[in-house]
A = this chain, B = another copy of it.
Amino acid sequence: MSRPLPHLTAARAPLTREVEVQDEHGARSAIRIPAERPLTVFVDRRELVTLMTLGAEPELLVLGYLRNQRLVGSVHDIESITVDWEVGAAAVKTRRGIEDFDRKTAKRVVTTGCGQGTVFGGLMDELDSVDLPPPARARISQRGLYALLDAVRRQESTYKSAGSVHGCAIFTLAGDDARLELFVEDVGRHNAIDTLAGWMWLRGMDGADKAFYTTGRLTSEMVIKSAQMGVPIVVSRSGITQMGHELATRLGLALFGRATNRHFLCYSGFDRFDAEPEPPRAAPRGP
């Protein structure tokens, strides 16, 4: 029964570089900024797309991109992903080719959360087939949410050293515990979530007992990607847009935003949330 998994290279490249800056005092100093490099994806020698990425986990990024774009049905259909930073290319080799390659990549639906992201045709149509576990079986407690936020806070990151990247993480929820499985950063928050998707796909991991964390906003495509991966709970440091809210309500996802330390807003999926309300705010202290 054990079908072969794809062979992935482990290409590495520096994640930050130093540049000289001048501040308002006229002082020059050196700071670190995040890398951003083009990665052109070829599938069976055909050019698919060029992604601009930090470069932390390029093979998993490509894997997750193929999954989230619904270009490949099973991870076992991929024989190998070979990344070569010398030429900025990822060569994907499939076992049996991609059926309907032209049709699948012909239609551009540009979902704009923050950039003008490409999601190939038909993604929205597929949402009706999304099947998330019922609230009774996939929920998060307020303590679990705090545990998740605490783990994010303690995570070492390129963001802390160089700024200007988005972070994304996947957690396994169990009772009041939230176990960090993987933390990924990229210049694009879509890349970060695609990388998580690739990692889960490789492990045949189900999303039912998982929660996503993202530093980015809860826009339509973040909700879509989470739902596609079967993850019913999404937590963000940022806010939400109308389509993100509508889709989550329709699909039954729990969304938490503005979440840091012990503050958050639950936007949807109240029935997946075991609230343990904090005491009311104390009156402000005198002068």
Contact = CB atoms under 8 A, between A and B. Distances in A.
Copies in the complex: 2
Contacts of A240: 19, 33, 164
Interface string A18-40: 01011111110001011111100
Name the residue in A112, A240, A278 with the highest tally of chain B Cβ atoms < 10 Å from its Cβ: A112
Contacts of A264: 23-24
A63 to B, nearest CB: 15
Interface stretch (A3-11, A132-140, A183-191): A183-191
A35 B118 contact: no
A198 to B, nearest CB: 14
A220 interface: yes
Contacts of A188: 112-116
A187 B25 CA distance: 34
B267 A21 contact: yes
Contact of A34 (B190, B242, B262): B242
Given A22-B275, A49-B110, A50-B110, A164 B117 contact: no
Given A52-B112, A240-B164, A265 B23 contact: yes
Interface string A37-81: 110000000010111110000000000000000000000000000
A281 interface: yes
Given A164-B241, A266-B21, A115 B36 contact: no
Contacts of A245: 19, 33
B277 A111 contact: no
Contacts of A216: 114
A97 interface: no
A278 to B, nearest CB: 5
A164 B112 contact: no
B49 A108 contact: yes
B52 A220 contact: yes
A201 interface: no
Given A36-B241, A116-B190, 20 more contacts: A22-B265, A22-B266, A24-B263, A24-B277, A25-B277, A26-B277, A27-B277, A33-B241, A36-B243, A50-B110, A52-B221, A53-B112, A112-B115, A112-B187, A112-B191, A114-B114, A115-B115, A162-B239, A163-B239, A187-B217
16 contacts: A24-B263, A24-B278, A26-B277, A31-B265, A33-B267, A34-B241, A38-B243, A47-B107, A49-B109, A50-B110, A52-B111, A112-B190, A113-B114, A113-B115, A117-B117, A187-B219
